Amino acid sequence: MSCRIPHRRENVLLSAQQHDYGEFTLQEIGGNTLKTYSMVAQSMSVVLFAVAVVCSSAAAHPLPGAATALERQEVDGVDLDDLLARAATSARRYAEVIQDLTTEETTTILTYDNAGRVTGRRVFVSQFMIHRFTHGDGGMEYRHVLSVDGRQAGDRELRVQALARELANASSESEERELIDRESRKFGLAPGNVRGMLSSSAEGILSDREGFDLAIAGR
Amino acid sequence: MDFILVDYRRIRGLQTSGRGLISLFVDFPDMDRVHMRGRLWLEASSGDLWRDEGGYLAEGRPGFSEDPQLVQFEYRYAPSSYGIFTPERFEFTPSFRIRSSREGDFSPIERRIQEFAPFERFDADVQFFLEEPVQ
């Protein structure tokens, strides 16, 4: 099913084409340009209503709601909002599962002078895990340092036992954080700067979608 | 696997407190002109994060043809048998020397690389020994 709707304002023709699964394609033909929009709707009448809203708008830009409905599907058949919804679900699963996992982590820190020359190199090997807070939700990175610059770290067993005792006696989440940060600083290893190890930008986008300009760049 | 690339740019003010990367240069004099931008690689069907590459840039610095980077970062993840992508390699390169007198210097001061072996579930054997109290 298809129809063509003459748009009087700018000599633009809109052509609507219905596909399977309630998907519609709209083509806007103005001068030598052709723009294609996709949208999902229950019926052609809904599509026509959206088109009417767009066409009757006196402003150069369509109404925000209608524009979103029309433009969100535009790139490469990928709906950005649907993709972000899947990413948010994935991030929740990630946060849950990663807490039960551990691995060996090698951190290499290179320092440079003003001329860009390497002036220092440190290598830390740690057992990496997520400490679950007793007082509060979630957790934070904990690194049990095994070696520094190739030399075995001392008192490994005693350190972890002492930390476990102190964490058990901690009375707040901030105290737990401080104890774990202190353990990292003992070896000159900076405290974890990535909560839960999901990248801070991805976390920001998923928790504050409106705070970002987002665009699908390809696949 | 099928990955969707999503370019991002922070348009709302950066949070200047907390433990994030931003804390590395929180004393930068023009924080309101610092923005973050980069690119995500998301697995198309699951939305799993495979890669995130980006940086914090100082916008409109005089004498620079391109916005200089305060911090460059790259996060890489890998498929695992636990139904999630687990961390594989992270790299951070801060490039701003607030404590030096060379305020306009944006060359790298440090590079931190974190490499992760394949993740495993915690595996612990626990044995309890009960002793009868001495009468």
What percent of chain B lies above the pLDDT cut of 90?
41
Q: Test A217 with B102 for CB contact under 8 angstroms.
A: no
The whole-number pLDDT of residue B66 equals 79
Using an 8 Å CB-CB cutoff, list chain B residues near A88. Answer: 47
Structure confidence at residue A193 as a pLDDT band (50, 70, 90) = very low
**Which chain A residues touch B11 with a CB distance below 8 Å?**
211-213
CB contact under 8 A, A107 and B114: yes
Lowest mean pLDDT among A19-23, A120-124, B33-37, B80-84: A19-23
Q: What is the pLDDT of residue A2?
A: 42
pLDDT by residue (tens digit) across B82-114?
A: 999 999 999 988 876 654 445 556 778 889 999
Decide: A73 and A26 in contact? Cβ < 8 Å: no
pLDDT tops 60 at residue A53? no
Average pLDDT, integer, range B23-45: 78
pLDDT at A75: 66
Instruction: Report which secondary-structure segment, H or E, holds B110.
Output: strand B110-116
Answer yes or no: is pLDDT of B17 > 90.
Answer: no
Q: What is the DSSP letter of B65?
A: S
**Contact between chains at B47 and A86 (C-beta distance less than 8 A):** yes
Taking the CA of residue B132 and the nearest CA in chain A, the distance in Å comes to 26
Smallest CA–CA distance from B41 into chain A, residue: A219
Higher-pLDDT residue of B6, B62: B6
Task: Select the more confidently predicted residue: B101 or A105.
Answer: A105
Which residues in chain B touch residue A212, judged by CB atoms under 8 angstroms apart?
A: 8-12
Q: Do B107 and A114 count as a contact with CB atoms less than 8 A apart?
A: yes
Across A52-78, average pLDDT: 45
Q: Of A107, A88, A130, A128, whose CA–CA distance to B90 is shortest?
A: A107
Closest CA to A144 of A94, A203, A192: A192
pLDDT at A140: 84
The answer on pLDDT for A7 being more than 80 is no
Q: Measuring CA to CA, how many Å separate B17 from each of A178, B25, B34, B101, B126?
A: 16, 11, 14, 24, 41
Pick the residue of B1, B2, B3, B4 with the most A CBs within 10 A to test the interface with A by mutation.
B4
CA B58 remoteness from chain centre:
18
pLDDT of the residue at A13? 45
* End-to-end Cα spacing for chain B: 67
Report the range out of A19-23, A54-58, B84-88, B119-123 with the highest average pLDDT.
B84-88
Residues of B in contact with A112 (CB under 8 A): 107-111
Q: What is this structure's pTM?
A: 0.70
Where is A184: in which H helix or E strand? helix A173-185
Handedness of CA B9, B11, B16, B19 (dihedral sign): negative
Which of B41, B54, B52 is CA-nearest to residue B3?
Answer: B41
Chain B environment of A213 (Cβ under 8 Å): 8-9, 11
pLDDT band at residue A46 under the 50/70/90 scheme = very low
Average pLDDT for chain A: 72
Which residue from A105, A205, A210 is facing B116, i.e. has the nearest CB? A105
pLDDT for A12 beyond 50: no
